[in-house]
Structure 1
């Protein structure tokens, strides 16, 4: 056992608190810290123009993958690629240029798909443009959100851009990050009406299948609406985080089990069975979860065309005879989302501006609010909207004993209430659900100033700056959510071999045992360490207190558990 861990354990036990005292800050060195120490590119925000469009064949991949790009324009252009993050406030770092950072290439104007009313069941609308550029990512690139800007270099709108995104996940050879952020690209695409059709009827008759193989167009959900603020906060604070798409989760459900905490970013409305089963398994296995937006896991979908298309009938009229496999609402097929989140969407907000959360009395007393300045009745401005979730008492599977409502919006007029909650699952997993699509707005001040996209979103602009109180709340929450569960049923027993300490076996695959110290009087001393039991030197006769903390794969320790015994002569 390393000396540093004994020191950390000693600090935790001396504090004797229910929350970890040492190791509360993010690790001093991890890929995110190193990445954000590099110089940023403050001039990355450019005006989106209609004279150039771009999409990528791949929405997600690994560092070292080739990303095929498809550009349509009659003018010359250059491709600039940025990784989004903190970068001392710059918000992005330029990582590549095509054909180079000082040259451009002549574009070809591609024909849009003809106006059509395709069958609802497909085939989906695809751009079907040829590959114009291939971006070879570098194996050294850090997992994250990557923005592709196709920049016009000639023409009346020179300097304006077409944009697309791709997400690089953590390579299999890397040490898994403590935190995994799931990026909701399914929902980006579900709302994308490029070519005239989406999974919605706001441009006419909806389709049941949509393709990733087209540019992002009218009302396509943007990560600049409800996701970038979370990314900037996590990377500014230096958390050990990686990213993957919900398509990646479907392809590798077990990937969630490699991390201590899985955070769901923004508006993650469309989940396949692979995604839902991944989260169900993670919760049962002790993986902590944080739903940072609202309306998560609402619709069941299938993937088609080698994961390049999303299918959802969005109705129990789906002809699949097996109820649980119908592409309808998850709550309609026996798996309501509140089984995971404890809250669920009941309505879209009728009011077009964001509203406020109020801190509850139970929330004010919660350890996550310690030192925040938030008290019962405090207001958190402008975070409730556009869609929001409310505590859901039905069915019984959505009732979570010990749940705490941290923040509440009472509802006005025809609007439903909203709730931010936390609970602990039987597995020991801790779960947070913000219940509000715009909750991450309280974490960071970023807004696009009308350049790279709508100022924040097409529905409503933010009305309040970042809230330092909520930022501290999130730090407190992440201390807990990135720490292992405390030892359960700790016992200390005098045996012929010495003082033996035991705990219940952990089902957490990331657990690495526990460390125990002993106190007689006011002095703590090292005792032993083990997986389920350990034995150390017998102290002098008299009453003693044994304290222990669990350790995990990242050398993070839990809150302390205590046991008492009396040493006999």
Structure 2
């Protein structure tokens, strides 16, 4: 957008809706309309734009993970209407900038809708904090602006696009708007895992440590949500996702597809499931999507209790609930801003010792919830092979026993099904790493005590078979890749979601 058309700090544009706003210092409050009926269908009929995508980025010389020209983070991961969120931005060298905020969805295929434009603001270079206890880097940047979320910002994933004036470079901040309405589907974003893999500014993820044995999966390392997201460094290299965690890589194709088909979906972060069991009980079905590796024990307990009370669960994810996470408040006082890996669900398995050590917190095996567990070797790629074609999830797919969906399994998966009465294996097969080490997976389904259904797709890549929205690149890992949208994956997912919605 041309800078000459941008509003001042006191102005906010909310799509095509007339609004008023007032400012006090750098805090903006938006007056907006009451919540709407049929929110997902109505929301996606509003004008969309593909301008939410980044166009220009430039990584630092010698550090291909970071763009210090313009970068930032949000003071909250998840925020509700009436709550305040701040945007902490650093520009080096200093330059004025503006922020364009987009809600992601379908929007006629464009993938996003502009909900607000903020600024321009005077940029400044903000400090990289030194490593503290347990290698923690925790920024204390001053917000360029704070806003109060208006009631008509529908629950969803929002990107704050940072746009510099003195040069052309951009990056994202990402946040989730949550609500407490009843809905058919609760889409949980894997925010703990996004942060666990965040190396900003250079080598500062949960996988970086100073141990002599160099084992990557240990306790004694902490990371903070109070810092920008670096370029994602594993499995898929999409530099234009900078600042968005893993959402655009492994979750957006599912969200885009859900909203395209008008499913009644609401969104939350991992921390919202930890915070309240009621957050789960208000919806008919819970969706774990993509790479959902890190769960607090309370999150696990809330999900297990929700299954007992009749909530449907769809694990359209892999490596899910593998590590026990401890979350604590940051220096800002906000809860769930600092996280540490402290245990392995079900304990360290034989063969995992070469990667893992010193994970003292005990927790149940994740298979008791999911239906299967992360197996070792836990990396690889493979085909998703039908084993039970007569099952209702395959209705309308035409799939036969032994028929494969190429490359859909990766890069992590679940296997070794739990001994749950009535559990069925609907797909299974082998996977291979780049070094040709062999592993296996099992996709499972079982009924909970209220007749509710728990499905485990057993792959991080399930969403790749649903859609290919703007800004999305297919991953390639361990000498294999998924092929993108597939009518069989789409039909299986429709069959599950419709059964959950109607049941």
Name the TM-score, length of structure 1 as normaliser. 0.69
3-state SS, counterpart of residue 439 of structure 1 = helix
Alpha-carbon separation, structure 2, partners of 1:399 and 1:313: 26
2:126 counterpart of 1:110: yes
1:312 maps to 341
2:221 counterpart of 1:208: yes
Alpha-carbon separation, structure 2, partners of 1:274 and 1:151: 39
3-state SS, counterpart of residue 165 of structure 1 = strand
Answer whether contact 1:300 1:328 (CA < 8 A) is retained: no
For residue 236 of structure 1, the aligned residue among 237, 242, 260 is 260
CA deviation map 1:431-490 (0-9, x unaligned): 0011001011101123636xxxxx345857854120012111111111212233xxxxxx
How has the CA–CA distance of structure 1 residues 256 and 72 changed in structure 2, closer, same or farther, with 3 Å as cutoff?
same
Tell me which stretches of 4 or more aligned residues in structure 1 moved more than 4 Å: 202-207, 327-330, 348-351, 456-463
2:439 counterpart of 1:420: no
Answer whether contact 2:465 2:482 (CA < 8 A) is retained: no
Q: After the TM superposition, which residues 323-338 of structure 1 pair with which residues of structure 2 at under 5 Å, given as runs? A: 333-338=362-367
1:177 maps to 183
Gaps of 5+ in 1: 1-28, 319-326, 393-397, 450-454, 485-569
Alpha-carbon separation, structure 1, partners of 2:315 and 2:397: 21
Name the TM-score, length of structure 2 as normaliser. 0.78
Q: What is the total number of aligned residue pairs between the two structures? A: 418
Cα deviation, residue 150, structure 1: 0.5
Alpha-carbon separation, structure 1, partners of 2:171 and 2:143: 16
Answer whether contact 1:148 1:163 (CA < 8 A) is retained: yes
Cα deviation, residue 295, structure 1: 1.3
2:370 maps to 341
Alpha-carbon separation, structure 2, partners of 1:129 and 1:233: 36
Q: After the TM superposition, which residues 369-408 of structure 1 pair with which residues of structure 2 at under 5 Å, given as runs? A: 369-392=394-417, 398-408=418-428
2:32 counterpart of 1:31: no
CA deviation map 1:37-67 (0-9, x unaligned): 1111122211344211010110101023221
2:138 counterpart of 1:126: yes
CA deviation map 1:518-537 (0-9, x unaligned): xxxxxxxxxxxxxxxxxxxx
Alpha-carbon separation, structure 1, partners of 2:416 and 2:470: 30
1:167 maps to 176
Alpha-carbon separation, structure 2, partners of 1:355 and 1:43: 35
2:499 maps to 480
Cα deviation, residue 304, structure 1: 0.9
Answer whether contact 1:178 1:240 (CA < 8 A) is retained: yes
3-state SS, counterpart of residue 374 of structure 1 = coil
CA deviation map 1:3-59 (0-9, x unaligned): xxxxxxxxxxxxxxxxxxxxxxxxxx7211111111111222113442110101101
Alpha-carbon separation, structure 1, partners of 2:400 and 2:73: 47
Answer whether contact 1:400 1:423 (CA < 8 A) is retained: yes
Alpha-carbon separation, structure 2, partners of 1:241 and 1:336: 29
Q: CA RMSD in A?
A: 2.5
1:507 maps to none
Cα deviation, residue 428, structure 1: 1.8
Alpha-carbon separation, structure 2, partners of 1:184 and 1:311: 15
For residue 359 of structure 1, the aligned residue among 358, 366, 386 is 386
Answer whether contact 1:349 1:385 (CA < 8 A) is retained: no
For residue 312 of structure 2, the aligned residue among 288, 294, 307 is 288
Answer whether contact 1:347 1:415 (CA < 8 A) is retained: no
Answer whether contact 2:105 2:112 (CA < 8 A) is retained: yes
3-state SS, counterpart of residue 291 of structure 2 = coil
Alpha-carbon separation, structure 2, partners of 1:44 and 1:68: 20
How has the CA–CA distance of structure 1 residues 215 and 337 changed in structure 2, closer, same or farther, with 3 Å as cutoff?
same
Cα deviation, residue 202, structure 1: 7.5
3-state SS, counterpart of residue 201 of structure 1 = coil
How has the CA–CA distance of structure 1 residues 313 and 473 changed in structure 2, closer, same or farther, with 3 Å as cutoff?
closer
CA deviation map 1:254-298 (0-9, x unaligned): 221111111112111111122011111101111110011111111
Answer whether contact 1:383 1:436 (CA < 8 A) is retained: yes
Answer whether contact 2:324 2:344 (CA < 8 A) is retained: no
How has the CA–CA distance of structure 1 residues 179 and 350 changed in structure 2, closer, same or farther, with 3 Å as cutoff?
closer
3-state SS, counterpart of residue 282 of structure 1 = helix
Alpha-carbon separation, structure 2, partners of 1:233 and 1:329: 38
Alpha-carbon separation, structure 2, partners of 1:440 and 1:417: 20
3-state SS, counterpart of residue 402 of structure 1 = coil
2:49 counterpart of 1:41: yes
2:247 counterpart of 1:223: yes
Alpha-carbon separation, structure 2, partners of 1:96 and 1:296: 34
How has the CA–CA distance of structure 1 residues 223 and 78 changed in structure 2, closer, same or farther, with 3 Å as cutoff?
same
Answer whether contact 1:447 1:456 (CA < 8 A) is retained: no
Answer whether contact 2:74 2:173 (CA < 8 A) is retained: yes
Alpha-carbon separation, structure 1, partners of 2:395 and 2:156: 31
Cα deviation, residue 109, structure 1: 1.4
2:195 counterpart of 1:189: yes
For residue 151 of structure 2, the aligned residue among 139, 162, 186 is 139
Cα deviation, residue 88, structure 1: 0.9
3-state SS, counterpart of residue 256 of structure 2 = helix
How has the CA–CA distance of structure 1 residues 477 and 339 changed in structure 2, closer, same or farther, with 3 Å as cutoff?
same
Cα deviation, residue 334, structure 1: 4.6
Cα deviation, residue 377, structure 1: 2.2
Alpha-carbon separation, structure 1, partners of 2:475 and 2:79: 27
Alpha-carbon separation, structure 2, partners of 1:329 and 1:45: 40
Alpha-carbon separation, structure 2, partners of 1:403 and 1:465: 29
3-state SS, counterpart of residue 187 of structure 1 = helix
Cα deviation, residue 106, structure 1: 2.7
Cα deviation, residue 420, structure 1: 1.5
2:86 counterpart of 1:68: yes
